[in-house]
Structure 1
Protein backbone atom coordinates (compact mmCIF):
# COMPACT_ATOMS: atom_id res chain seq x y z
CA UNK A 1 0.00 0.00 0.00
CA UNK A 2 1.29 3.46 -0.74
CA UNK A 3 0.04 6.66 0.79
CA UNK A 4 -1.08 9.38 -1.67
CA UNK A 5 0.81 12.55 -0.72
CA UNK A 6 -0.39 15.90 -1.94
CA UNK A 7 2.07 17.49 -4.37
CA UNK A 8 0.84 21.09 -4.10
CA UNK A 9 -1.33 23.12 -1.78
CA UNK A 10 -1.43 23.48 2.00
CA UNK A 11 -1.38 19.72 2.63
CA UNK A 12 1.76 19.17 0.58
CA UNK A 13 4.89 18.48 2.63
CA UNK A 14 7.77 20.90 2.04
CA UNK A 15 9.82 20.05 -1.05
CA UNK A 16 12.88 21.31 -2.89
CA UNK A 17 13.56 20.12 -6.44
CA UNK A 18 10.75 17.59 -6.02
CA UNK A 19 12.31 15.97 -2.95
CA UNK A 20 10.86 16.08 0.56
CA UNK A 21 12.67 18.55 2.81
CA UNK A 22 13.06 18.16 6.57
CA UNK A 23 14.55 21.03 8.58
CA UNK A 24 15.25 18.85 11.61
CA UNK A 25 15.65 15.10 12.21
CA UNK A 26 12.41 14.86 14.22
CA UNK A 27 10.45 16.01 11.17
CA UNK A 28 11.57 13.04 9.07
CA UNK A 29 10.78 10.74 11.98
CA UNK A 30 7.26 12.19 12.33
CA UNK A 31 6.76 11.79 8.58
CA UNK A 32 7.95 8.18 8.68
CA UNK A 33 5.75 7.37 11.68
CA UNK A 34 2.62 8.59 9.90
CA UNK A 35 3.49 6.66 6.75
CA UNK A 36 4.32 3.45 8.63
CA UNK A 37 1.27 3.60 10.90
CA UNK A 38 -0.97 4.19 7.88
CA UNK A 39 0.58 1.42 5.81
CA UNK A 40 0.22 -1.00 8.73
CA UNK A 41 -3.43 -0.16 9.40
CA UNK A 42 -3.10 1.69 12.70
CA UNK A 43 -4.74 4.77 11.19
CA UNK A 44 -6.36 5.72 7.92
CA UNK A 45 -4.84 8.26 5.60
CA UNK A 46 -8.23 9.97 5.29
CA UNK A 47 -8.46 10.44 9.09
CA UNK A 48 -4.91 11.77 9.19
CA UNK A 49 -5.52 14.15 6.29
CA UNK A 50 -8.72 15.43 7.90
CA UNK A 51 -6.87 16.15 11.15
CA UNK A 52 -3.99 17.80 9.27
CA UNK A 53 -6.36 20.01 7.27
CA UNK A 54 -8.14 21.06 10.48
CA UNK A 55 -4.82 21.94 12.14
CA UNK A 56 -3.63 23.97 9.16
CA UNK A 57 -6.97 25.77 8.80
CA UNK A 58 -7.01 26.60 12.52
CA UNK A 59 -3.53 28.09 12.20
CA UNK A 60 -4.49 30.07 9.08
CA UNK A 61 -7.61 31.52 10.68
CA UNK A 62 -6.03 32.32 14.06
CA UNK A 63 -5.11 35.88 14.92
CA UNK A 64 -1.83 36.71 13.23
CA UNK A 65 -0.50 38.43 16.35
CA UNK A 66 -0.95 35.34 18.52
CA UNK A 67 -0.24 32.42 16.20
CA UNK A 68 3.13 30.68 16.25
CA UNK A 69 5.41 30.81 13.20
CA UNK A 70 4.49 28.47 10.34
CA UNK A 71 6.12 25.06 10.71
CA UNK A 72 4.43 22.40 8.61
CA UNK A 73 5.64 19.46 10.66
CA UNK A 74 4.34 20.96 13.92
CA UNK A 75 0.87 20.55 12.38
CA UNK A 76 1.77 17.12 11.00
CA UNK A 77 2.85 15.83 14.41
CA UNK A 78 -0.15 17.34 16.22
CA UNK A 79 -2.51 15.76 13.68
CA UNK A 80 -0.77 12.40 14.06
CA UNK A 81 -1.09 12.52 17.83
CA UNK A 82 -4.76 13.54 17.57
CA UNK A 83 -5.61 10.64 15.25
CA UNK A 84 -3.74 8.12 17.40
CA UNK A 85 -5.59 9.30 20.51
CA UNK A 86 -8.94 9.16 18.67
CA UNK A 87 -8.17 5.58 17.54
CA UNK A 88 -7.27 4.55 21.09
CA UNK A 89 -3.58 3.87 20.37
CA UNK A 90 -2.52 6.67 22.75
CA UNK A 91 -4.18 8.27 25.72
CA UNK A 92 -4.60 12.03 25.67
CA UNK A 93 -1.51 13.51 27.31
CA UNK A 94 0.78 10.47 26.79
CA UNK A 95 3.09 12.33 24.43
CA UNK A 96 3.27 15.43 26.66
CA UNK A 97 4.04 13.25 29.69
CA UNK A 98 6.84 11.48 27.82
CA UNK A 99 8.26 14.81 26.65
CA UNK A 100 8.38 16.05 30.25
CA UNK A 101 10.32 12.94 31.29
CA UNK A 102 12.80 13.32 28.43
CA UNK A 103 13.20 17.08 28.95
CA UNK A 104 14.05 16.47 32.61
CA UNK A 105 17.03 14.29 31.82
CA UNK A 106 20.55 15.73 31.94
CA UNK A 107 22.20 16.80 28.70
CA UNK A 108 23.88 13.86 26.98
CA UNK A 109 21.69 11.26 28.67
CA UNK A 110 20.37 8.53 26.40
CA UNK A 111 16.74 8.84 25.31
CA UNK A 112 15.25 5.53 26.40
Structure 2
Protein backbone atom coordinates (compact mmCIF):
# COMPACT_ATOMS: atom_id res chain seq x y z
CA UNK A 1 0.00 0.00 0.00
CA UNK A 2 2.88 2.36 0.75
CA UNK A 3 4.14 1.96 -2.82
CA UNK A 4 0.71 2.88 -4.21
CA UNK A 5 0.58 5.98 -2.02
CA UNK A 6 4.04 7.03 -3.21
CA UNK A 7 3.06 6.41 -6.82
CA UNK A 8 -0.03 8.60 -6.55
CA UNK A 9 2.12 11.36 -5.05
CA UNK A 10 4.73 11.08 -7.83
CA UNK A 11 2.27 10.65 -10.73
CA UNK A 12 -0.53 13.14 -10.04
CA UNK A 13 -2.67 12.04 -13.01
CA UNK A 14 -3.50 8.64 -11.45
CA UNK A 15 -7.29 8.37 -10.99
CA UNK A 16 -7.94 8.27 -7.26
CA UNK A 17 -10.32 8.94 -4.45
CA UNK A 18 -9.61 9.59 -0.78
CA UNK A 19 -8.63 5.93 -0.33
CA UNK A 20 -6.06 5.85 -3.14
CA UNK A 21 -6.00 4.72 -6.76
CA UNK A 22 -9.29 3.66 -8.35
CA UNK A 23 -9.79 1.24 -11.22
CA UNK A 24 -12.70 0.58 -13.57
CA UNK A 25 -11.69 -3.03 -14.31
CA UNK A 26 -9.35 -5.66 -12.86
CA UNK A 27 -6.88 -5.36 -15.73
CA UNK A 28 -6.30 -1.70 -14.78
CA UNK A 29 -5.30 -2.73 -11.26
CA UNK A 30 -3.00 -5.39 -12.72
CA UNK A 31 -1.32 -2.83 -15.00
CA UNK A 32 -0.91 -0.49 -12.03
CA UNK A 33 0.62 -3.30 -9.94
CA UNK A 34 3.03 -4.24 -12.73
CA UNK A 35 4.27 -0.64 -12.91
CA UNK A 36 4.71 -0.55 -9.13
CA UNK A 37 6.70 -3.78 -9.19
CA UNK A 38 8.93 -2.65 -12.06
CA UNK A 39 9.56 0.67 -10.30
CA UNK A 40 10.44 -1.12 -7.07
CA UNK A 41 12.90 -3.29 -9.03
CA UNK A 42 14.60 -0.17 -10.39
CA UNK A 43 13.49 -0.44 -14.01
CA UNK A 44 12.39 3.23 -14.01
CA UNK A 45 11.96 6.19 -11.68
CA UNK A 46 8.60 7.83 -11.08
CA UNK A 47 9.69 11.07 -12.80
CA UNK A 48 10.78 9.00 -15.80
CA UNK A 49 7.44 7.13 -15.73
CA UNK A 50 5.42 10.36 -15.43
CA UNK A 51 7.24 11.89 -18.41
CA UNK A 52 6.73 8.77 -20.55
CA UNK A 53 3.05 8.56 -19.59
CA UNK A 54 2.51 12.25 -20.36
CA UNK A 55 4.11 11.74 -23.77
CA UNK A 56 1.91 8.72 -24.47
CA UNK A 57 -1.23 10.68 -23.51
CA UNK A 58 -0.17 13.60 -25.73
CA UNK A 59 0.35 11.20 -28.66
CA UNK A 60 -3.10 9.72 -28.10
CA UNK A 61 -4.72 13.16 -27.93
CA UNK A 62 -3.10 14.19 -31.20
CA UNK A 63 -4.49 10.97 -32.70
CA UNK A 64 -8.01 11.90 -31.51
CA UNK A 65 -8.37 10.52 -27.97
CA UNK A 66 -11.05 12.70 -26.34
CA UNK A 67 -9.24 12.49 -22.96
CA UNK A 68 -12.40 11.80 -20.96
CA UNK A 69 -10.51 9.63 -18.46
CA UNK A 70 -11.85 6.27 -19.54
CA UNK A 71 -8.73 5.53 -21.63
CA UNK A 72 -6.21 6.48 -18.95
CA UNK A 73 -5.09 2.93 -18.18
CA UNK A 74 -4.84 2.09 -21.88
CA UNK A 75 -2.20 4.82 -22.01
CA UNK A 76 -0.70 3.44 -18.80
CA UNK A 77 -0.37 -0.01 -20.39
CA UNK A 78 1.08 1.37 -23.64
CA UNK A 79 3.63 3.32 -21.59
CA UNK A 80 4.48 0.21 -19.60
CA UNK A 81 5.04 -1.78 -22.79
CA UNK A 82 7.24 0.90 -24.34
CA UNK A 83 9.35 1.41 -21.23
CA UNK A 84 10.06 -2.27 -20.63
CA UNK A 85 11.11 -2.59 -24.28
CA UNK A 86 13.28 0.54 -24.12
CA UNK A 87 14.92 -0.71 -20.92
CA UNK A 88 15.64 -4.11 -22.43
CA UNK A 89 13.39 -6.04 -20.02
CA UNK A 90 11.71 -7.52 -23.09
CA UNK A 91 11.14 -6.56 -26.69
CA UNK A 92 8.07 -5.22 -28.45
CA UNK A 93 8.14 -8.38 -30.58
CA UNK A 94 7.95 -10.57 -27.48
CA UNK A 95 5.15 -8.42 -26.03
CA UNK A 96 3.18 -8.80 -29.28
CA UNK A 97 3.86 -12.53 -29.35
CA UNK A 98 2.41 -12.97 -25.86
CA UNK A 99 -0.52 -10.63 -26.57
CA UNK A 100 -1.40 -12.69 -29.63
CA UNK A 101 -1.03 -15.93 -27.65
CA UNK A 102 -3.36 -14.62 -24.92
CA UNK A 103 -5.88 -13.57 -27.58
CA UNK A 104 -5.75 -17.06 -29.07
CA UNK A 105 -6.09 -18.71 -25.64
CA UNK A 106 -8.99 -16.42 -24.72
CA UNK A 107 -10.79 -17.23 -27.97
CA UNK A 108 -10.73 -20.97 -27.24
CA UNK A 109 -11.58 -20.67 -23.52
CA UNK A 110 -15.23 -20.94 -22.48
CA UNK A 111 -16.61 -17.95 -20.61
CA UNK A 112 -16.00 -18.20 -16.87
CA UNK A 113 -13.07 -20.60 -17.20
CA UNK A 114 -9.46 -19.59 -16.47
CA UNK A 115 -7.38 -18.75 -19.52
CA UNK A 116 -4.34 -20.97 -19.83
CA UNK A 117 -1.53 -20.48 -22.31
CA UNK A 118 -0.47 -23.57 -24.24
CA UNK A 119 2.44 -23.98 -26.63
CA UNK A 120 0.05 -24.03 -29.60
CA UNK A 121 -1.17 -20.53 -28.63
CA UNK A 122 2.18 -19.21 -29.84
CA UNK A 123 1.74 -20.66 -33.33
Fold similarity call, TM over 0.5: yes
Q: TM-score, normalised by structure 1?
A: 0.77
Root-mean-square deviation (CA, aligned residues, Å) is 2.8
- Aligned residues between the structures: 108
CA distance 1:7–1:15, shift in 2 (3 Å): farther
Report if aligned partners of 1:55, 1:79 keep a CA contact under 8 Å in 2. Answer: yes
Whichever structure has more helix as a proportion of its residues is 2
Q: 1:110 aligns with which of 102, 109, 115?
A: 115
TM-score with structure 2 setting the length = 0.71
Aligned residue in 1 for 2:28: 27
Q: Provide structure 2 residue ranges, at least 5 long, that are not aligned to the other structure.
A: 118-123
Q: In the TM superposition, what is the alpha-carbon distance from 1:63 to its structure 2 partner?
A: 3.5
Provide the C-alpha distance between the structure 1 equivalents of 2:49 and 2:8, rounded to a whole number of angstroms: 11
Matched residue, 2:17: 16
Which of structures 1 and 2 has the larger relative contact order (alpha carbons within 8 angstroms, sep 6+)? 1
CA distance in 1, matches of 2:115, 2:49: 31
